[in-house]
Amino acid sequence: MASKIEFVEFIADQIREAGEITYRKMFGEYGIYCNGKIFGVICDNQLFLKITEAGRKLRPELAEAPPYEGAKNYLLVEDVEEAEALTKLVQATCRELPEPKPRKRKKQ
């Protein structure tokens, strides 16, 4: 089941204080970014964050699960109602993730 854009927009609004939040449709689901870094995915109207030490420390109760068949595990964030806690988790996760690689320009 593909995620609904309304859910994606809700998540983006919940974490708007974390930084510049954007999302991109990917294979019927969505990748979610903060300041250009992809930090998670939204699949089947569920939020999955990349696993980092800081994220684990902040929310040790979160289960690990693959967002889709064949994927590596992510942290499954089921309680997305508390914006402040969710924002802190996103910020902590993003601090540990590498900067995105610059895109190469295509030769014309």
Q: Is the dihedral of CA 85, 64, 94, 23 positive or negative?
A: negative
Rounded to whole angstroms, the Cα distance separating 99 from 36 reads: 8
pLDDT value of residue 102: 77
Q: Encode pLDDT of 49-102 as tens digits.
A: 999 999 999 999 999 999 998 999 999 999 999 999 999 999 999 999 988 777
Q: Encode pLDDT of 49-60 as tens digits.
A: 999 999 999 999
Mean pLDDT of the chain: 93
Q: What is the 3-state secondary structure (H, E, C) of 2-36?
A: CCCHHHHHHHHHHCHHHCCEEEEEECCEEEEEECC
Rounded to whole angstroms, the Cα distance separating 56 from 51 reads: 7
